[in-house]
Amino acid sequence: MTHFETLQEIYREARRRLPLDVWDYLSGGAESETTLRRNRHGLDCIAFRPRVLVDVSDIDCTTNFLGVKMRLPIALAPIGSLQTIEKGGAMTAALGAKAGGIFSIVSSVTQPGLEEVAKADNPTMFQLYVRGDADWVDDYARRAMQHRYFSFALTVDTAVYSRRERDLIKRYVPAGRRSAGGRDWQAALSWDTVKRLKDLLSVPLVLKGIATAEDAALCIEHGVDVIYVSNHGGRQLDHGRATIDMLPEIVDVAKGRARIMVDGGFCRGSDIVKAIALGADVVALGKLQGWAMAAGGVAGLARMLDILEIEMKSAMGLLGVTRLAQLNRAYLHPALPVTSPHAASAYTHVHIPTPEY
C-alpha cells in the first residue's frame, strides 16, 4: 500500500472497499451530526502565524509519552467493532501502530481481546466500557496490568447511548453492541469509581471523554494521570463543542499536572500541529485510523502515518519550528473556514458519495 501518495487516496480506497452500513458506522455521528461537523469546523477556524529565516534543516516529530518513545505524537484511538472494518481488528491496529512507531488503544468492545492483542509486543493502552459491577471492572484492570498494558483508560462520556441515525435508518446494529448488556453500570459511573481505580492501578489512569474545565479540575483533584479530551468523534452528545475548542481551557486547568490527549476530526498533519500548539501531548485518530485499515490493513496504517509525518514536518518547517516543544499558541490565529465541514472536508479532491438508505 505504499502507492498512496495522499491521505485523500486512502479515504477514497476505504470508501470503495467498505459496505455502506460499516462505512456509515465508522464515518457517521449522532443525530444531526452537528458535533461531528464542529470538530472539523473548529480545526478549520484556526490559521497559522509562520516565522521565517529559521534554520529548519533538521525537523524532529518524536516525543515521549508516559515513558513510551514515539515517532509521532499520535495514537490510534479505541474503536468498537474494528473487526468489521478490517478482519484483523484490534490486532491490525496494534501491528500498524508498531510499524509506525506509535501506540494503539484497545477497546473492550472490539476483537480480538486484550490478551491476544498483547502478543503484538508494542506499547498499548487499554480502554474500558463498563458493563458490570466493581469486581467486573477490577478484573479488567488486573488483566490489563498482567498483560503489560502501559496505561488504563476509562471512557466517561457514554452514560446514555446516543442515537446514531445512519445506523438506525438502516436498522444496523454494530457487532460490539449486538450482545452488549449491562449498560446501567455505565450510567451509574461516578468519581467514586475513579477513586477506586486510581487506588487499584499500578499504571497511569486515563479518563476519556473530558469536555470542560470543571471536569478537568476534578480529574486533577482525583489524581488522574491523563486527561483525554474527546466528544466521541461526534458520536455521543449532539450539538457539542469541537474538541479543539475544548482543549485550551482544559490545558489551562491542568497546568502540567496531567498529560493531555485529544481526538475528534483530526485528518491532517497540520491538524495535529495545531493541537500540539494548543497544549496537547498526543492526538488520537479514530475515523482516519478506520479508513487506513479498510484501505490496506497494517500496510495502510503504516502508510497513513508516513504521510502524516510528511505533512507535520512540512507544516512545522514552514512555521519555523523544528521540535514539538517549540510549538505554542503564538503560532495560531482565529480565521474563517473556507469549506463546509463534514467528516472528510479536509480532503478537497475526492468525491463524497451521497448515502443511499
Euclidean distance between CA atoms 283 and 63, whole angstroms: 12
Euclidean distance between CA atoms 34 and 36, whole angstroms: 5
CB atoms within 10 A of CB 82: 29
Residue 252's beta-bridge partner residues?
Answer: none
- 128 by DSSP, 3-state: which? strand
Is 232 considered catalytic here?
A: yes
Cβ 82 vs Cβ 89: under 8 Å? yes
- 65 by DSSP, 3-state: which? strand
Residue given cell 478484573 in the structure block: 139
CA 158 to chain centroid, in Å, comes to 16
CB atoms within 10 A of CB 44: 21
Name, in order, each residue with C-beta under 8 angstroms of 355's C-beta and a sequence gap of 6 or more. Answer: 20, 24, 166
Among candidate residues 41, 232, 239, 342, the one labeled active-site is 232
CA nearest 66: which of 239, 244, 229, 206?
A: 206
Do you know the residue count of the chain? Answer: 357
CA nearest 11: which of 314, 271, 296?
A: 296
Name, in order, each residue with C-beta under 8 angstroms of 322's C-beta and a sequence gap of 6 or more. Answer: 54, 55, 56, 58, 59, 60, 316
- 126 by DSSP, 3-state: which? strand
**Which residues are tagged catalytic?**
232
